[in-house]
Amino acid sequence: MQQGFNENIEHKGDVYHVQTEDGGIKKPVVTTIVFRGGAIIASRKTNYSDVIKFGRLDMVVKELMQEQHDRAVMDLKRGKFDK
């Protein structure tokens, strides 16, 4: 299981929290959640069960997590989650 990413982003006067977690081998899903004021406003899940048997799984999952987290932050900054 990879260590997750947590980031607070200020956008148009609101503070958003973007959190990305790995479910691990038993639940091979990367989940990213975007919060505003403690409420979930968006989420994205990516199943990676198809790559569990590949070598260097830790590196693959870490890259997947980083890409998914960065995409959520970019969407936030581009206004995708504006009120």
**Could you give the number of structural domains in the chain?**
1
- The answer to whether residue 26 sits within a structural domain is yes
> CA 72, CA 17: separation in Å to the nearest integer?
10
- The answer to whether residue 45 sits within a structural domain is yes
Domain that holds residue 50: 5-77
> CA 31, CA 6: separation in Å to the nearest integer?
12
pLDDT score at 52 = 83
pLDDT in single tens digits along all 83 residues of the chain: 678 999 999 999 999 999 999 999 899 999 999 999 999 999 999 999 988 887 788 899 999 999 999 999 999 999 998 87
Per DSSP, the residues of 22-37 read E--TTS-EEEEEEEET
pTM for the whole structure: 0.90
- The answer to whether residue 48 sits within a structural domain is yes
- The answer to whether residue 63 sits within a structural domain is yes
pLDDT score at 5 = 96
**Degrees to nearest 5, angle at CA 69 with 57 and 19:** 105
> CA 13, CA 50: separation in Å to the nearest integer?
41
- The answer to whether residue 82 sits within a structural domain is no
Helix/strand/coil for 5: strand
pLDDT score at 56 = 85
